[in-house]
Amino acid sequence: MLTKRIIACLDVRGGRVVKGVQFVDIVDAGDPAELAHRHAAAGADEIVLLDITATHEGRGTLLDTVRRAAAKLFVPFTVGGGIRTAEDAAAVFNAGADKVSINSSAIARPELIGKIGASFGAQAVIVAIDARRGAKGVEDAEVYVSGGRKPTGLRVVEWAREAESRGAGEILLTSMDTDGMRDGFDCELTAAVSEAVQIPVIASGGAGSAAHFVDVFGRGKADAALAASIFHFGVTSSRDLKAQLAQAGVSVRLPC
Amino acid sequence: MIAVIDYKAGNLTSVVKALRYILGDEQTTREVVVTQSPDVVRGADKVVLPGVGHFQATQLLEDLGLTEAMRESIAKGAWFLGICVGLQWLFEGSTEAEGTKGLGAFSGMCEHFPATYEGADLKSPHVGWNSLEQIRPDSRLLRGVADGAFVYFTHSWRAPVVQETAAVTNYGGAFTAALERENVMGVQFHPEKSANVGLRVLRNFVEL
């Protein structure tokens, strides 16, 4: 049976892993390569490395960090942040990434989705969407870019559909309303996107307990869920989390 | 020498990295060579055909003379491992690219996942960790891999279950997750991304 994936996310800034609360407060959590290996060994199904400052400070992705992290990583590895062109993506793939996550640049130039897919396969292109609910809630939830700094006027579900039609392999949906709060994922928003597209949807933002994951895999119809701060400070490991999910009847990769 | 065939179908970095990791110190005597050359393929004792993406990309194998080189290699006993599209190519073809022939080492066509299964919508692509079932006890490629072990998949087309199937996976019904006939082997999953189970499969292949 296809299992629900637990993805460990490393938000990187200046070569260090950090984690913000609602995209702003930042706490240092360690070396990205070391943490990537630790998460994989602790049972994470996948690793995502996001260079969270790349877009607005105009830096390229930290290829050296990617190379070090990928060296002995034998689970899927996604890299995002600062990927503006197909050439940027190629450099990240050559450094050892299996997938790239694009966000601001996909909105600025939606054809980039298909362009990267043409060389590396659709499965290698994740379109990341940073979303915030609107006045009417989920219905008018809006897409934000530049690390959550700029509203775009795009509706979340419509953009997810367009990303799929342009060849995205997966959608990484982050709720800015719930991010870093450890109070649960935005299940309604995740379900709305998951029902609108055929491709897998990764839920992100708000993980705080195993019950939150059970909720987003059930009610939220997510195919995968991503967490960062819940793991870094030894709150729990992916393996512990999965054992709890299995108990609650969620299909997960165990033993791992 | 292990020849890894580059036919511009996705990223070879991970496969090569995993093979070199397994070889470890032996790398000095047993090279992993990424190649498009039919002569290199003919000189290899092991051939790996990876590939993610469109079946159409395998047309380049024919155009570069690699299909013939692989056919000869297999006939004289070189070990062959197809990964993902590389496995699908071992069949007669795929509905993904009707005009492009596979090697035809196994009978049947690869087809897209059905849109519905047992009355429910079925999402595709099939992405994530799924289990290997009905592992053939005589499989050399899957030696030491237990029924129910999880591996990582990402694909929208799948190969039918045939007599040579070495393990199936269930998603919208059973499909071939691994197959094996003497020196010809293939896996639909990505062993280079399947943690310890995947490394075990690659190690089994490298040690043949």
Would you say B123 and B167 are in contact if contact means Cβ atoms under 8 Å apart?
no
Structure token pair of residue B57 = 């990309």
Residue A9 located in a structural domain? yes
CATH number at residue A242: 3.20.20.70
Q: Do A256 and B171 touch (CB under 8 A)?
A: no
Residues of chain B in contact with residue A69, where contact means CB-CB under 8 angstroms, are none
Write the pLDDT tens digit of every residue in A117-138: 988 888 999 999 999 999 999 9
Instruction: For residue B110, indicate whether it is catalytic.
Output: no
pTM: 0.95
pLDDT at A28: 67
ipTM above 0.95, yes or no: no
Q: Which chain B residue lies closest to A120 (C-alpha atoms)?
A: B10
Does residue A128 fall inside a structural domain?
yes
Comparison of pLDDT for B14 and A147, the residue scoring more:
B14
Residue B85 has pLDDT above 60, yes or no: yes
Asked if B123 and A75 come within 8 Å (Cβ–Cβ), the reply is no
pLDDT in tens, A16-27: 887 654 444 556
A-chain residues near B129 (CB < 8 A): 2-3, 5, 45, 253
pLDDT per residue as tens digits for the range A148-196: 889 999 999 999 999 999 999 999 999 999 988 889 999 999 999 999 9
Is residue A256 in some structural domain? no
Q: How far is CA B51 from the centre of its chain?
A: 8
Domain assignment present for residue A209? The answer is yes
Q: Does B127 touch chain A (CB under 8 A)?
A: yes
pLDDT attached to residue A57:
52
Nearest to B11 among A75, A124, A224 (CB): A124
Contact B117/B172 with Cβ under 8 angstroms? yes
Q: Is residue A122 part of a domain?
A: yes
- DSSP line for chain B: -EEEE--SSS--HHHHHHHHHHHGGGGGTS-EEEE--HHHHHT-SEEEE---S-GGGGHHHHHTTHHHHHHHHHHTT-EEEEETHHHHTTSSEETTSTTSB---SS-SEEEEPPSEETTEE--SSEEEEEE-BS--TT-STTTTPPTT-EEEEEESEEPPP-TTEEEEEESSSEEEEEEEETTEEEESS-GGGSHHHHHHHHHHHHT-
Least confident range from A54-58, A183-187, B46-50, B77-81: namely A54-58
pLDDT above 70 as % of chain A: 91
Enumerate the residues of chain A whose CB falls inside 8 A of the CB of residue B171: 2
Domain limits at A94? 5-247
Evaluate if residue A102 carries a pLDDT over 80: yes
Instruction: Indicate the number of domains in chain A.
Output: 1
| A52: nearest Cα among A149, A151, A140 | A149
Q: Does residue A252 lie within any of the structural domains? A: no
pLDDT, tens digit, for every residue of A52-62?
A: 776 545 455 57
CB contact under 8 A, B52 and A121: yes
Task: Specify the pLDDT at position A58.
Answer: 42
Two tokens at A213?
A: 């994951």
pLDDT tens digits for B135-159? 999 999 999 999 999 999 999 999 9
Which listed residue (B84, B96, B155, B180) is catalytic?
B84
B171–A45 C-beta distance less than 8 A: no
Which residue of B lies nearest to A200 if distances are taken between CA atoms? B127
**For B156, nearest residue in chain A (alpha carbons):** A123
- Pairwise CB contact (< 8 Å): A74 & B199: yes
The three-state (H, E, C) secondary structure of chain A, written as one string: CCCCEEEEEEEEECCEEEEEECCCEEEEEECHHHHHHHHHHCCCCEEEEEECCHHHHCCCCCHHHHHHHHCCCCCCEEEECCCCCHHHHHHHHHCCCCEEEECHHHHHCCHHHHHHHHHHCHHHEEEEEEEEEECCEEEEEEEEECCCCEEEEEEHHHHHHHHHHCCCCEEEEEECCCCCCCCCCCHHHHHHHHHHCCCCEEEECCCCCHHHHHHHHHCCCCCEEEECHHHHCCCCCHHHHHHHHHHCCCCCCCCC
> CB distance from B11 to chain A under 8 Å?
yes
The predicted structure's pLDDT at residue A54? 60
- Beta strands A5-13 and A46-51 are parallel
Of A74, A94, A169, the CB nearest to B198: A74
- What b/e readout covers A141-157, taking b as 16+ CB neighbours within 10 angstroms? bbbbbebbeeeeebbbb
Tokens representing residue A226 in the block: 């991503």
pLDDT at res. A27: 62
At residue A10, φ and ψ (nearest 5 deg) are: -110, 110
Give the tokens for residue A20. Answer: 């913000």
Q: Which two tokens stand for residue B17?
A: 């990295």
Give domain status of residue A181, yes or no: yes
Domains, in order of start, for chain B: 2-206 (3.40.50.880)
Partner residue facing A74 (CB), from B9, B13, B18: B18
Of A5, A40, A93, the CB nearest to B128: A5
Each residue's pLDDT tens digit, B165-188: 999 999 999 999 999 999 999 999
For residue A153, tell me if it sits in a domain. yes
Which residues of B are less than 8 Å from A170 in CB distance?
127
Token code pair at residue A7? 């993805």
